[in-house]
Structure 1
Amino acid sequence: MSFQTASCSCGKLRIQVEGDPQGVGVCHCFACQRRTGSVFAALASYAAPFKVSGVATEYVRVGDQGARFIYRFCPVCGTTVFHTEEGDDESVSVAVGAFADAGFPPPQVSVYDSRRHSWVRLPADVTAFSKDPV
């Protein structure tokens, strides 16, 4: 099994995941825009197990449909590295940029596409959802 490691900017918070991502997506919701300081968040979902090294600060956000998401970021440099959904220990979502891999697979889905900035272009085969389809 192959392993990949994602890291914050200063390297003090890392997560090691196994295998290929279960899915890659982008989220254009305003919460993700604010959280990342960008116009969307790019995330890759992985099945457990995963291994975290370093100390993370946590921020809990309640999604539009009531799910509670626990975001982990580095207390030194502030980089958001990964998040989980409260009560779901079987998967983790990792910030694609934290892998620092220009060859990372492209997104398959785009959520909150209704909030996508007009100048952002996605690959033609991306499935877009106006809001969160869950």
Structure 2
Amino acid sequence: MNILVIGCDQVGAALVRDLERIGHDISLIEKDSEQLKRLDSFDDYSFGGTALVGDPTDPDVLKQGGVENCDAVAAVSEDDSVNLMAAQIAKSIFQREKVICRVSDPHLQVLYHKAYGLETICPTILTEQAVFRALSK
């Protein structure tokens, strides 16, 4: 599968590594070129995809990043508003069906899903649930 990942913080870099290791073709867009250094921090891994430094909320940058030819988009930067904008553009303008949007604020997760039809992942909720399960054992 050809996947466009937006954001290269710890989550994005690990996602890129894991997706590449199982055979997916990855394109990456990151606003901050310094963040791309995270891809070099893994042992026994060398990024084989395409990385682009630019604003992922700019449709032209998304085009350069390969949004028109990707099978899925994962907007996983640390910035909820960047993720929402990039995900909306990928879904509405470029008609990508599989768009995942990372949302740190649990209240916004519901809004993004209901109002914009985006598949959302909320690390805040996932962490709370994992801690609750661990404490409940």
Q: Same fold judged by TM-score > 0.5?
A: no
Give the structure-1-normalised TM-score. 0.25
Give the structure-2-normalised TM-score. 0.25
Q: Structure 1 or 2: larger strand share?
A: 1
| Bigger radius of gyration | 2
